[in-house]
Chain A
Amino acid sequence: MRAWLFRISFSHLAQYPGRTLLGILGIALGTAVYLSISLAAASALQSFQVGVTAVAGQAEWRIQTPGAPLDESLFVKVRRLASVAAAAPAVESVLSLAGVHRGPVLLLGIDPFSERPFRDYEFAHAGVLSDTAWTEVLTRPDAVLVSGPLASLLGLKVGDGLAVMVGPRRRALRVAGIFTSRRGLYPLDGAVLLMDIGPAQELLDRVGGLDYIDVIGAGPPAEVQKRLQEALPPGVEVVRPSAQGSRTEGLVASYRLNLAVLSAIALFVGMFLIYQSVTLSVVRRRREIGLLRTLGMTPGQVLLLFLAEGLASGLVGGLLGLGLGVGLARGVLAVMTQNLSSLYMPVAAQEVGVQGGLLLQAWGLAVAATLLAAYLPAREAARTQLRAVWHREELEEIIESKAGLIFGWGLVALVLAGVGAYAKINDGPPWPGFVAAFLILLGFALFTPLAARLLGQGLQPVLRKILGPAGDLGCRYLAGAMSRSAVSIAALACALGMLIAVTVMIGSFRQTVNDWVSRAISGDIFFGPAVFSTAAYDQYLPPEVLAELRQDPDVADIYLYRCVRIPFKHRYILVIGGSFEVLARHGGLWFRQGDTRAIMERVGRVEGGGEEEAIMGQGPGKKDYTATMSHDDNRKPETENRKPSVVISEPLAETLHLQEGGTITLPTPSGPQTLTIAGVFYDYRTDGPSVWMDISLFRRFWRDTHLNAVRLYLKDPARVPQVQARLQERYGDRYRLLALSHRDLRNGILRIFDETFALTYALEGVAVVVAVFGIITTFLVLIRERERDLALLQAIGASRRQILGMVLVESGLAGGLSFGLGAACGSVLSLLLIFVINKQAFGWTIQLHFTPAIYWQTLILVLTLSLAAAAYPAWRAIQPHLAAILKEE
Chain B
Amino acid sequence: MRIPILKLHNYLLISIQIDLDDQSAIQFQEDLLNEIHKSGATGVVIDLTSVDIIDSFIAKVLGDVVTMSGLMGARVVLTGIQPAVAMTLIELGIHMHDVPTALDLEQGLIKLRQELEG
**Are chains A and B native binding partners rather than an unrelated pairing?**
no
